[in-house]
Structure 1
Amino acid sequence: MSLIRDLQALATAVTRTVIRRRNRRAWSSYEASRPAPRETFEAAIFFADSPVNLYQIQQWYEPMRKLAETHPVAVIVRNVATAVALKDECPLPVIYQPFIAETESWLETQRIGAVFYVNQNIVNFRMMRFRDPAHIFISHGESDKDYMASNQLKAYDYTFIAGQAAYERLGRRLVDFDRDKHLRRIGRPQVDVPPAGPSLPDDDRSVVLYAPTWEGDRPSMSYSSLVSHAPAMIDALVATGRHRIIYRPHPRTGVVDPAYRDAHRAVVERLQKANAADPAARHLVDTDSVFGWQLGVSDVCVADISAVAFDFLATGKPLLLTEPASPDTEVDRDGLAGKIRTFRADEAAAVLSVIDDVAHGEDRGRYEQIVEHYFGDTTPGASLQRFLDVSDKVIRHRQTV
């Protein structure tokens, strides 16, 4: 058995080497053919992750593109596979710098006033050594997940948050953290500039967005409903003939626990069979589009404690927030899960009655206040403008000190 494992490890290593060399050749060819960026950059997104986490930066394309109209923005990446993937889809210039010395030399030629971070990758600290720019954590989605109240936030000059709810959450959960100094409220600018998506039939079907999060990498982060809720819920929705499901799984589904990968495949198979039996249903398995367009076309959303739930909440349309099945999951009852009813696994087969209750029950009257508490002004364009204004102020200040 030891020999087999060794051979498997060798084969994996060889495959990775071949892929890495292929990506390096692809990037070198691209670099040789593209014109050198003419502008001097004034802001940057630092993204050290592999392509599996591209969803984290994709939602920032449009807000950052708008910022780049006044303060040119570049994306700095460490992973060559990520660079190759971004070169074809990212609207911002992509700069591949695998070594920190390259970044140091590059910064000396620029006027970088702010560096933005969309996750808590430990490699971020290699970039944060540079003193001149402001280092800003913008995350990849507002939520009540335990991740959103990390002590790591103390390392950044600023953290951009959605609104008052995040301000209160961090006050409850972080010790000796100066919220007024480090936090800036911007709402959710991504919602103001949704990306284009596929067209759906214009018919009488009610569109249900089901967007479960991934299983998490520790018991306290087990928020996904894919194993606990999905089987019975999908069957109930498909059976009506009156609903169209947009299934949007988290890109990391099944990375830690194969049971979630199997559950994902089962949902895909169920929707494919439903489409074959009823072509007019047009259920959609959406695994590769940039998230955001789904919010506008969906009539109701089933989401876990995650950024998807918060983004959909801002639409004012019915939201079913799932109750984590694991007793080990960290649920903030002072957050959204304590303000609206949650959707338990034992209710999954009765999802239609739950939707009706959420759409017409007592929570509907409080939605407007809840949305304001989490996001502030949700008038179209208001969040994007707050993001641009706050970013502009920080960048200009750092360029003059």
Structure 2
Amino acid sequence: MGAVLVAAVLAQAVAALLPHVSLLVAATAVSLAAECVLYRWQPGMVSLFAKSHADVTVRHVLRDLLLVVGLLRLGEQHRETQYAPLVAALLAFYGLHCAVQAVSVLVRRTRTLPVVTRNIDARALRLSPAPPVLLRRAGHRLLVFGLPATAGLTGTAVTDDTRCAAAGVALSLVLALAGLVVLLLRLLPGRRPADEQEVLDWFDAWLAEYRPTVGLYFSGGVSSAYQAGMWLEPLAALDARPVIILRERFMVPKIAATDIPIVCLPKVPTLMRLEHSTLQVLIHPSNSGKTSQVLRIPTIKHAFVNHGESDKLSSCNPYAKAYDEVWVAGPAARERYALAEVGVEDKDVVEIGRPQLDAVRPYAGPPAGRPVTVLYAPTWEGWDGNPGNTSVIAAGENLVRALLADPGVRLLYKPHPLTGSVDPRAGAADRRIRALIHAANRSRTPAPSAELVRLTVELDRLTTAGFRPAADAAERMLVRPVPSPGRAEAVARVTAAWEEAYWASLPDGGHRVIADARPSLYACFNVADLLISDVSSVITDFLASGKPYAVANTGDLPEPAFRTAFPTVAAATVLTPDAAGVPALLDAVRHPEKDELAAARAELKLRLLGPAQPASQERFGAAVRALCAAALEHRARTAGPVPAELPGQRRTRSRPAGVTTRA
């Protein structure tokens, strides 16, 4: 479409110089249509034009300038004086456009608060709904406000009546002036949100009133929000005053539904205000460049909990030694850190299990009288280019074809959210896999039941904050600032009903591509009879069910070396890229007496996830309490002179029952 826009402008220039009325009108119309298409469907091309110093203002000025040139060429001699007021008015319109943009920037700055919140009553900050989106986006505004002027000039080119151009330019001037007035009113003292110091004072007062003790710290990209999401329920179930600390404003609405207060602190000086709060412990589900900033706060203890455990190098990252403690699921992760020799001391490793998995139902026997439900959940390609990271490229299509060839199989395909983000081949393979599944489903894709539609609406109402699409961060702080009592219980109840209706809506043998947040991965675990995945944390989590699983070996390692290199594969059926082992694997699922890996799975589950008792949530809570006690002890020691201890010396502390510190 970018080429169409360039061609239209060139055609408009030729038409203006010839002059040729029909070509001028047609080229102008095509140019405007191309602009609309770019802004609606090709924002990347808009950015490319802007980087080439051909932004929307330049393009719009050029379009109107060529119309004026065409009018001058089409008119009689000495008609320049008739168009002089018209040109002056057109210039005034563009001057107003620049003024509106400048005031829009000022309004945006007054609404860009140093602290962004969710689930907190922030009405004291004098917040208000955001200005109309048309006034905040220069490109959209110029297209709409400038359309009457362009249309009027075009009408004059056709009719030779200057009143058309005069009326169009006058309307554009009125629209621009009205937009300017609307924005200027936003800058009046009584209409502005609280200034930076007022917001910071309010935030300090909220910290003093709420007195948070445990927090989740998260920073990342848009597609990584799921990493924080898996720790929301365990955090909410603690006997504590939890808080979620974010660093990017765009992440605030991305965090899944929760009643926990959410605070976004983009700037480091604002983040440092936590040092004098009651916050004692922060848990970290991921590493990021901004993690080092919060680690500088000496009054808070930090625990790395990760967003999943696997045999990948990322599960024993050297960065982990920066935390006070590393909380892992079971003995296998402790051994992984010891073998990796990345600087994490064994005394700082705490086994807590995986509290998220308490909702995963255990194995209840083979499928009887129904299709075998197979969950294919490959991981993404990773950053290092290792061909063994994901099976999507080398084996995905073969695996899916082999599964679809068995009429007694129902396939659930749940790819990693980052699939294709690094290697385009993975994205292309993912699209082909989806096409295979959709083709197999053509004759058995039912419409959603009325009950499922009703529950979806209800669940959306409970789990979304009701933001307007055009709402900015300040406006979102006004929407449902404090969760209503019983909302969490209602969400759990409706979610369970939604999942039951969702699975019931699938016909026998109906396959499904699951790319949305619902149903969750753990909900898929509960209905699956078999998992096929790669070396990833999905394997570790699925072991909580005790059900059979298989791992695709798409690297260069022979099977014995593959099992040795990746301990999580010890109890798996290893599949080759040609998927030749799929029929035998399905036969073992249907006939448990042929399953020779059941005992190995039970043993591996204990190594990876730890003992079943105490429950993971209890062990997680015990670890939190122990680290909170250490934080309070550290504050007490450093509150005054400590002559008996050297600076930085650590004191041994006892741990409550259920928290394992040694293998």
Q: TM-score when scaled to structure 1?
A: 0.85
Q: 1:392 to 1:271 in 2, by over 3 A?
A: same
Distance 2:247 2:574 in 1: 40
Whole-Å separation in 2 of the counterparts to 1:65 and 1:12: 45
Alignment CA distance shift 1:387-1:337 (3 Å): closer
Q: Which residue of 1 aligns with 2:504?
A: none
Distance in 1 between the 2:333 and 2:541 partners?
A: 14
Retained in 2: the 8 A contact 1:161–1:187?
A: yes
What SS class does the counterpart of residue 555 from structure 2 fall into? coil
> In the superposition, relative to structure 1, how do residues 147 and 319 fare at CA in structure 2: closer, same or farther (>3 Å)?
same
SS of structure 2 residue aligned to 1:372: helix
Residue 232 (structure 2) aligns with: 61
Please report how far the alpha carbon of residue 136 of structure 1 lies from its aligned counterpart in structure 2 after TM superposition: 0.7
* Cα deviation, residue 294, structure 1: 1.5
Partners of 1:297 and 1:150 in 2: how far apart? 33
Alpha-carbon distance in 2 for matches of 1:102, 1:29:
8
- Equivalent pairs, count: 381
The answer on 1:373 being equivalent to 2:373 is no
CA-atom RMSD in angstroms: 3.4
Partner of 1:126: 293
In the aligned structure 2, how far is the partner of 1:94 from the partner of 1:332? 42
> 2:515 is matched by which residue type in structure 1?
T
Match of 2:526 in 1: 296
1:399 Cα deviation from its structure 2 partner: 2.4
CA deviation vs aligned residue, 1:260-317 (integer Å, no higher than 9, x gap) = 1111111222222222123433322222224322111111100111010111122110
Counterparts of 1:300 and 1:337, CA distance in 2? 16
Shift in Å at residue 161 of structure 1?
A: 0.7
What's the offset of the Cα at 1:85?
2.0
Q: Contact conserved, 1:233 with 1:350, CA < 8 A, in 2? A: no
Give the Cα separation in 2 of the matches to 1:97 and 1:81: 12
Which residue matches 1:43?
Answer: 214
3-state SS of 1:208 partner: strand
Q: Distance in 1 between matches of 2:370 and 2:514?
A: 21
Larger relative helix fraction: 2
- Partner letter of residue 40 of structure 1? R
Kept in 2: contact 1:222–1:324 (CA 8 A): yes
1:348 to 579, 582, 586: 579
Tell me whether 1:392 sits opposite 2:625 in the alignment: yes
Instruction: Provide the C-alpha distance between the structure 2 equivalents of 1:27 and 1:353, rounded to a whole number of angstroms.
Output: 60
Query: TM-score by structure 2 length?
Result: 0.53
Confirm or deny: 8 A CA contact 1:216 1:222 kept in the other structure. Answer: no
1:106-255 matches, cutoff 5 A: 106-108=274-276, 110-179=277-346, 181-193=347-359, 204-220=370-386, 222-255=388-421
Q: Which has the higher contact order (CA 8 A, sep 6+)?
A: 1
Instruction: Return the alpha-carbon distance in structure 1 between the equivalents of residues 569 and 400 of structure 2.
Output: 26
Local SS of the residue matching 2:405: helix
Report the alpha carbon displacement of residue 169 of structure 1 after superposing the two structures with TM.
1.3
Out of 240, 257, 260, the residue aligned to residue 92 of structure 1 is 260
Distance 1:203 1:26 in 2: 59
Matched, 1:274 2:448: no
Q: Which runs of 4+ in 1 moved over 4 A?
A: 4-8, 10-15, 24-34
* Greater share of residues in strand: 1
**What residue is the counterpart of 1:198 in the other structure?**
none
Q: Is the 8 A contact 1:27 1:84 kept in 2?
A: no
Q: Any conservation in 1 of the 2:116–2:265 contact (CA below 8 Å)?
A: no
The code of the aligned residue for 1:100 comes to: V
- Stretches of structure 2 lacking an aligned partner (at least 5 in a row): 1-5, 7-43, 57-103, 123-205, 362-367, 446-506, 635-663
Q: Distance in 2 between matches of 1:7 and 1:83?
A: 27
- Partner SS state of residue 142, structure 1: coil
Q: Kindly tell me: are residues 131 and 159 of structure 1, through their superposed partners in 2, closer, same or farther at Cα, counting changes over 3 Å?
A: same
Partner residue, 2:549: 319
**Inter-CA distance 10–139: structure 2 relative to 1 (3 Å threshold):** farther
Shift of 1:221: 7.8
Is the Cα–Cα contact under 8 Å of residues 228 and 325 in structure 1 kept in the other structure?
A: no
Q: Return 389-398 or 331-340, whichever deviates more.
A: 331-340
Shift of 1:373: 1.4
Quote how far apart the aligned CAs of 1:66 are.
0.6
1:322–1:343: 8 Å Cα contact kept in structure 2? yes
1:196-249 deviations in Å (ceiling 9; x for gaps): xxxxxx971211111100001103484111112211111121222211112111
The secondary structure found in structure 1 opposite 2:327 is strand
Separation in 1, partners of 2:121, 2:369 = 47
Residues 10 and 336 (structure 1), Cα distance of their counterparts in 2 relative to 1, 3 Å cut: farther
Contact 2:316 2:342 in 1 (8 A): no
- SS at the partner of 2:402? helix
Asked if 1 retains the 8 angstrom alpha-carbon contact of 2:321 and 2:343, the reply is: no
2:439 aligns to what SS in structure 1? Answer: helix
Structure 1: tracts of 5 or more residues without a match: 196-201
Letter in 2 for 1:58: G
- Greater displacement, 300-309 / 221-230: 221-230
Give the deviation of 1:341 after TM superposition.
Answer: 4.5
CA distance in 2, matches of 1:240, 1:188: 34
Give the letter for the 2:584 counterpart.
Answer: S
Structure 1 residues 347-395: Cα deviation after superposition (integer angstroms, max 9, x where no partner): 414412134357534322222111111111136x711111111111111
Q: Percent identity?
A: 25
SS at match of 1:160: strand
User: Is the radius of gyration larger for structure 1 or structure 2?
Assistant: 2
